[in-house]
Amino acid sequence: LEHFRTAHAEAGGVVSFIGQVRGETEPDPVEALYLEAHPTLTESGIEAAITKTRGRFNILGLDVAHRTGLIPVGETIVYIATAARHRRDAFLAADFMMDYLKTEAIFWKREHRASGTHWIEPRAKDYKDAERWQNLA
Amino acid sequence: VGTITVTFWGRISDQFGKKQQIDLKELGSISDLRKTLGGDLLKPAFRAIVNGEFIANDAPITDGDEVEFMSPVGGG
């Protein structure tokens, strides 16, 4: 983040977001999250979303890193940083990019709990969050 | 008539396994393949890819195609 920040000295604001594996405890503790990506389409999809985000918001920079494989509770899944001349653009672009990653980015998630493993897919709330942007064109 | 490879991503790999080689008596379309395999593949939320491209249900299947079916996606 420090490197990203100093690389955008002309920015008035830098926003960063880290998504991590939530440590739900009772009654069936989450131990880790397994994330699988598609060998070609995950990356090209994220690159297209970065282009879309840059086109939609007045930002100077956008960094995205997303992990795959087995990620233990408390560890980082995703990191986003945006830089803009004015803070609002940086906040909005980060939020928009996260909504893409939650509902459209090509990943499959499997939760490892004490009782076994379960696939998890976006919740209705995630799709609703992503839909907001259609009304804010 | 033809042999295709089908890869299943996410939740549907529990139903069909990760990868199958399927000999088809008739090639037909993606929609026909969905009906042959059944289960969750009858739902449009499980998108189809042929030879690396997202494809419509009426797209024809040809011998040697690499078909992929995706469960609903989401990261973060």
- Residue range B47-75, pLDDT digits in tens: 999 999 999 888 999 999 999 999 999 99
Predicted TM-score (pTM) of this structure: 0.91
B 42-71 → A contacts, CB under 8 A: 49, 52, 70-71
Confidence (pLDDT) at A135: 78
ipTM (interface predicted TM): 0.90
Mean pLDDT in residue range A61-89: 97
Q: Sort strands A107-113 and A116-120 into parallel, antiparallel or unpaired.
A: antiparallel
**How does residue A137 score in pLDDT terms, banded at 50, 70 and 90?**
low
* Contact yes or no for B11/A119 (Cβ under 8 A): yes
Residue type, B19: K
- Would you call B71 and A108 a contact, using CB atoms and an 8 Å cutoff? yes
Cis omega before residue A27 (within 30°)? yes
